[in-house]
Amino acid sequence: MLIRVMYADGRLGMIKPNLLDKLLEGRIVTSFMRSDGWAVVGRDIIRSHRSANDYDGAERRSCFTLGAPVGRSLTIKLLQEVAWITCILVLTSILFSGLL
C-alpha cells in the first residue's frame, strides 16, 4: 500500500509507509493523505519518531520480563515448562540406563 504525499515544492507523489517518517523529519513532505483526508505538517497531529523507552505502561507482550507482574498465567506457564523439562530428563535417563 502506498501513501499519497505532497512534497515541499508542491508536487504530489506516492511513497511506501516506511519512508514517511524520514521524509517528515527531513521536511521533504508537507502533507500526506490519511483515510479521513490530508494531514498537514504543523497543523495536524502527525506521528513522531519514538524510542522504545518512551512507553511508561506495563509490558504486556512478554510474560517473562523482569518487570512483569507474577500472575496466575505466569505461574501456570512456569509449571508447564518445569513439567516438560522433568519429562525430558526422565525419558533421557531411562534411555541412557537401558544403553549402559
Compute CA distances 89 → 13, 21, 78, 82, 84, whole Å: 61, 51, 16, 10, 9
71, amino acid identity: G
Report whether 47 contacts 19 (CB < 8 A).
Answer: no
d(CA 35, CA 5): 13
Give residue-wise pLDDT tens across range 8-31. 999 999 999 989 989 988 889 999
Task: Enter the pTM of the model.
Answer: 0.47
Give residue-wise pLDDT tens across range 32-51. 999 999 999 889 887 665 55
Domain ranges for the chain, please list them: 3-48, 63-99
d(CA 19, CA 85): 46
